[in-house]
Amino acid sequence: MSLREKLQEKERARRFAQKDAKLSLQEWLTSIKGLYRLVWEELAELRRDKLIEFGSQTVDRSEELTGKYKTSELTLRAGGRTIVFSPVARFVVGSYGRVDLYALGRLNVRYYVLLDKTAGGADRWVITEADTPRKHPLSALPELSRATLEDAIEKLLSA
């Protein structure tokens, strides 16, 4: 095979990977919206009682495979603090994506909200403290629920 043929083959493979990455990016953006909907639903009672306020802002991200893209951060105002859900990356070793959860101005406590998939392909979000070594598969981590979300927010508010 000549150099020309090798380069053409590499270029075809690169274009194919880019197409896959673009499709994966769309899935990631949809998953992020699903995460925010889950958070909104789990904290609806606190929102109704005006104990928590929701907001969002558009942020720029860039990954090697997808290039630049826009997504949004979800913000929660509670107890005089701002809690942020910040999408970090779609392509993360060991998961299908990562969103960081932290209190603005307080980076000593941070959570990773990691995207897993069920056997049927549905999104499954799990949560773990960022400083906890990940020695277990995603399936062994606690699923994001009202209880795990409230525990994380309580810890972020007291940090």
pLDDT given for residue 3 in this prediction: 87
Instruction: Please enumerate in sequence order all residues whose Cβ is within 8 A of that of 51, keeping only pairs 6 or more positions apart, or say none.
Output: 78
pLDDT given for residue 2 in this prediction: 81
Q: In Å, how far are 7, 67, 81, 128 from 131, measured between CA atoms? A: 43, 28, 21, 8
Dihedral sign for Cα atoms in the order 122, 111, 145, 50: negative
Instruction: Please enumerate in sequence order all residues whose Cβ is within 8 A of that of 105, keeping only pairs 6 or more positions apart, or say none.
Output: none
Q: Classify 1 as helix, strand or coil.
A: coil
Domain count, the chain: 1
CB count in 10 Å sphere of residue 17? 12
Which DSSP category does 142 fall into? Answer: P
pLDDT along the chain (159 residues), means of 10: 75 65 88 97 96 97 90 96 95 90 89 93 93 78 95 92
Domain coverage including residue 30: 3-158
- Half-sphere exposure of residue 119, counting CA atoms within 13 Å on the CB side? 0
pLDDT given for residue 1 in this prediction: 66
Helix and strand numbers (H, E) in the chain are 3, 6
Structure tokens at 50: 């005006």
CA–CA distance, 64 with 78 (Å, rounded to integer): 35
CA–CA distance, 114 with 66 (Å, rounded to integer): 19
pLDDT given for residue 18 in this prediction: 65
pLDDT given for residue 9 in this prediction: 67
Which DSSP category does 72 fall into? Answer: E
pLDDT given for residue 12 in this prediction: 65
* Type of residue numbered 29: L
Structure tokens at 96: 């299908």
